[in-house]
Amino acid sequence: RSYDTPELSDKVYLEIKKKYNGIVNKRRTTLTLKEAYDYLETGIRPEYKPYMNKQVLDELDYFINHYELVPKVFLSYDRRAYFDKNDRDFRLTFDTNIRCRREDVRLEAGSYGDLLLEDGVWLMEVKILKAAPLWFTKILSELKVYPASFSKYGTEYKNMILSREGEKVVCLNQYLQQQPRTVYQPVQQF
């Protein structure tokens, strides 16, 4: 993960993102882009530097050595993030221009690709630890905005599979036959 188009010497985040019991947990450490590439390509842990997280490196070691990791997808988006001044556990993000590509997936290649959602559609994500503030739930209720599950990577993957209809993709094809072909249902456009 990077927040701009990095060069090999720039710092980026190498992270593991997993969902357990409905809660997304992200574990990440800072590395230079070159250190991250070398680590993923060779499986050899970079020499520790003060900007790295040792515990996360241990977790990454297991993950990298347990799975055959191969770069497959580049995802990029424009984000506006907001935090509640009084409650650091409440965060609201709005993503738009979600772009993806399956070729030239290196971060230093820049942010371009096919739009994942229609132009002008924004994805709102509410990140809370406990309960949403009452003022916020009132706004959502008034606007008739309801929770929905959405995964940028999952949506890109489904779109890729659907674009290969004539090809044999064993496991997911059986799943997709039971699912509606609509990729997303926008509740409201801003």
Q: What are the tens digits of pLDDT across the range 41-56?
A: 999 999 999 999 999 9
Q: Which two tokens stand for residue 9?
A: 């010497």
What's residue 169's pLDDT? 57
SS3 state of residue 52? coil
* pLDDT tens-digit series, residues 120-132: 999 999 988 888 8
pTM: 0.79
What's residue 29's pLDDT? 97
Judge whether residue 188 has pLDDT over 60.
no
Judge whether residue 40 has pLDDT over 50.
yes
* pLDDT tens-digit series, residues 139-174: 999 999 998 889 999 999 999 988 887 766 555 444
Which phi and psi angles does 189 have, rounded to 5°? -95, 140
* Cβ atoms of residues 130 and 91 within 8 Å: no
What's residue 186's pLDDT? 40
Exposure string over 9-42, b if 16+ CB within 10 A, otherwise e: eeebebeeeeeeeeeeeeebbbbbbbbbbbbeee
What's residue 189's pLDDT? 39
